[in-house]
Amino acid sequence: MKILELSRLAEKLDAFFHLVIWERKDGFEVVATVAKEFQDAFPLPMEVQAAAAEIDMFLDTTTAAKLQIEDMPADFWEELDEITYGKYLKVSRLGQPGRKYLEIFRAVNAGQDSDRLSLNDLGLSEADLLKVARWLREQSIFDRRSGDLIMEILTQLR
């Protein structure tokens, strides 16, 4: 299903861009760009930022600014769904394998008051939860003070 704002963005572009997005319940976020390989979306190319500004569109890259895309696990890129928007824009949407990392990252980052409903919708297996826990630990994304919250979130999903 196409996203209206991205269709409008595509109309303003004069060169080809490939964006990877994470669709959330409250919208979407750009997490990577693709040239020959996946690259951090933060900062977005100036041409994309300028085109978005022309239509008063904010392209959120908050998560991309906090994570290093090259440090994402291999399964993060599985099940991408690609959609072409006109001549100059291709968008890949993250599948469940990639979304699980970002949804849990977002919940931990938001702290105790985070909305965790979207986590339940993922239907994560114990193997999925183990992959995410290993990634969080190996990348040292959060300090030790977040350990209890991480365990609370992962245990709640089991």
What is the rounded distance in angstroms from the CA atom of residue 20 to the CA atom of residue 35? Answer: 11
What is the rounded distance in angstroms from the CA atom of residue 89 to the CA atom of residue 74? Answer: 24
Would you give the end-to-end CA distance of the chain in angstroms? 31
DSSP state at residue 12: H
Q: What residue ranges of the chain have pLDDT lower than 70?
A: 112-116
The predicted model scores a pTM of 0.88
Q: What is the pLDDT of residue 59?
A: 96
Q: What is the pLDDT of residue 79?
A: 96
Structural domain boundaries in the chain: 4-94, 97-157
